[in-house]
């Protein structure tokens, strides 16, 4: 856990969240400002700042987030209709929380554009 990290505090239960998934390595909850009918944030429990820091995350813990995404998509009813999984890294991508997280977006037709 990193002091003053919003997502570490959510994982620890110090800040409330709408949990949709939890396993040994990752935690997932609804985005407070959803950009699609389904907008879930999937975060590793271990604090790493983002995609540039995944060398500090054991492979098993990184892959756990991806396996969780597949299962959350099914749980949320978008596994077949489709969904997008993305992670913003750094200022040009508008990363606002410095704890690695994956946005899972679905439940509507998403734009072909990624920007
Ligand atoms: P990013 O801009 O890629 O770093 O994504 C951070 C996301 O965290 C944004 O989509 C925010 O809406 C979301 N967020 C910020 N605070 C909270 C919170 N307390 N609970 C749930 N989601 C949050």
Q: How far is CA 42 from CA 69, 101, 112, in A?
A: 7, 5, 22
What is residue 89's three-state secondary structure?
coil
Please tell me the distance between residue 60's alpha carbon and the centre of ligand 1 in angstroms.
24
Residues 44 and 64: beta-carbon distance below 8 Å: yes
Q: Is the pLDDT confidence value at 2 over 90?
A: no
Question: Looking at residue 1, what is its pLDDT?
Answer: 79
**Which ligand 1 atom minimizes the distance to the CA of 95?**
4
Q: Residue 99 maps to which CATH number?
A: 3.30.428.10
Average pLDDT rounded to a whole number, residues 85-111? 98
Q: Give the domain range for residue 80.
A: 6-56+64-106
Question: Does residue 111 lie in a domain region?
Answer: no
Question: How many domains does the structure of the chain reveal?
Answer: 1
Q: Is the CB of 16 under 6 A from ligand 1?
A: no
19-76 pLDDT, tens digit per residue, is: 999 999 999 999 999 999 999 999 999 999 999 999 999 999 999 999 999 999 999 9
Q: Is the CB of 97 under 6 A from ligand 1?
A: yes
């Amino acid at each position: 856990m990193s002091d003053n990290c919003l997502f570490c505090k959510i994982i620890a239960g110090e800040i409330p969240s709408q949990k949709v998934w939890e396993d040994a390595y990752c935690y997932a909850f609804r985005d407070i400002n959803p950009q699609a009918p389904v907008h879930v944030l999937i975060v590793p429990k271990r604090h790493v700042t983002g995609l540039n820091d995944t060398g500090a995350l054991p492979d098993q813990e990184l892959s756990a987030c991806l396996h969780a995404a597949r299962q959350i998509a099914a749980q949320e009813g978008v596994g077949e209709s489709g969904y997008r999984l993305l992670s913003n890294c750094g200022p040009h991508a508008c990363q606002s929380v410095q704890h690695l997280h994956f946005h899972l977006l679905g439940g509507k037709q998403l734009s072909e554009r990624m920007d």
